């Protein structure tokens, strides 16, 4: 089972799961790759290939049993194990992430915020996530078994914070700071770059108005 599964496949599995949750709520029993494909604007074969990586999850002639596939995807994505998340940076964005309802839904638990700004330490977010000094990260990460750190600090301190997070033994990082960050081989870093996203849209608008003139 040394087959490397692509990031693109993994992202799509999350989407499939979200729809399955919805279907399950509506009492739908089975769903075909064709129906899933339509819902996401994807090719049905792609969905079957994505799922086939993890065994014969479907039933020929019938499709996929919603509850079964839901359970399988949860297990594949590791959502059957109440994963704990720490947010580093108690600025506007960090506080918003700490209280973001979408994170809590699929079994993630936001256990703590961290900051190095003394006046913030000891306070908490609106929904009651406590803010600790970043110095305490290592201790708390070990005691509480934090699996993922989300980083929402200014660009200039981001690499330092990443180093601290790595030293604390955390092996998965969701980064919201701009700029390129280095992590060791065994740590998984995923970056959400808001500036890059916005500039992509700007490019689209700029090209559009250029083409109007042609």
Query: Considering the rule CB under 7 A, would residue 62 count as an interface residue with DNA?
Result: yes
Q: Is the Cβ–Cβ distance between 148 and 83 less than 8 Å?
A: yes
List all residues 6 or more positions away from 152 whose beta carbon is below 8 Å from its beta carbon. 87, 88, 89, 91, 93, 94, 97, 176, 177
Pick the closest to residue 65 from 106, 91, 28 (CA basis): 28
Count of helices and strands (H, E) across the chain: 9, 8
Pick the closest to residue 151 from 181, 186, 176, 127 (CA basis): 176
Query: What is the rounded CA–CA span in Å between residue 35 and residue 79?
Result: 24
Angle, CA 138 vertex, CA 7 and CA 81 arms, to 5°? 45
**Which position among 45, 62, 78, 167 is part of the footprint of a second copy (CB under 8 A)?**
78
The DSSP letter of residue 135 is G
Tokens 């915020």 belong to residue = 113
Query: What is the rounded CA–CA span in Å between residue 168 and residue 171?
Result: 9
Query: Considering the rule CB under 7 A, would residue 3 count as an interface residue with DNA?
Result: no
Query: Considering the rule CB under 8 A, would residue 95 count as an interface residue with a second copy?
Result: yes
**Which position among 46, 83, 174, 189 is part of the footprint of DNA (CB under 7 A)?**
46
**Which position among 46, 83, 133, 163 is part of the footprint of a second copy (CB under 8 A)?**
83
Q: Closer to DNA at the Cβ: 59 or 198?
A: 59
6-14, 128-136, 138-146, 160-168 -> range binding a second copy (CB under 8 A): 6-14
Query: Considering the rule CB under 7 A, would residue 56 count as an interface residue with DNA?
Result: yes
x-or-dash pattern for a second copy, window 120-159, by CB under 8 A?
------x--------------------xx-x---xx----
**Which position among 64, 114, 132, 176 is part of the footprint of DNA (CB under 7 A)?**
64
Query: Considering the rule CB under 7 A, would residue 33 count as an interface residue with DNA?
Result: yes
Binding site for DNA (CB under 7 A): 6-9, 32-34, 42-46, 48-49, 51-52, 56-64
Binding site for a second copy (CB under 8 A): 1, 7, 10-11, 13-15, 17-19, 39-41, 75-79, 81, 83, 85, 91-93, 95-97, 99-103, 105-106, 108, 126, 147-148, 150, 154-155, 171-174, 178-180, 188, 190, 192-208, 214
């Amino acid at each position: 089972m040394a087959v490397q599964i692509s990031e693109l496949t993994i992202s799509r599995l999350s989407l499939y799961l979200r729809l399955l949750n919805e279907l399950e709520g509506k009492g739908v029993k089975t769903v075909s790759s064709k129906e899933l494909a339509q819902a996401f604007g994807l090719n049905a074969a792609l969905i079957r290939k994505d799922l086939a990586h993890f065994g014969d999850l479907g039933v020929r002639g019938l499709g996929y049993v919603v509850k079964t596939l839901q359970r399988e995807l949860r297990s594949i994505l590791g959502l059957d194990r109440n994963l704990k998340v720490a947010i580093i940076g108690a600025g506007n964005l960090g506080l918003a992430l700490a209280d973001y309802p979408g994170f809590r839904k699929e079994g993630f638990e936001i256990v703590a915020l961290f900051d190095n700004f003394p006046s913030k330490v000891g306070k908490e977010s609106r929904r009651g996530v406590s803010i600790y000094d970043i110095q305490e990260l290592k201790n708390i990460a070990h005691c509480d078994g934090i699996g993922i750190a989300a980083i929402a600090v200014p660009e200039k301190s981001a690499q330092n914070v990443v180093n601290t997070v790595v030293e604390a033994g955390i092996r998965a990082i969701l980064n919201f700071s701009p700029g390129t960050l280095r992590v060791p081989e065994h740590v998984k870093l995923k970056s959400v770059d808001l500036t890059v996203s916005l500039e992509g849209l700007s490019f689209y608008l700029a090209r559009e108005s250029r083409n109007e003139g042609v």
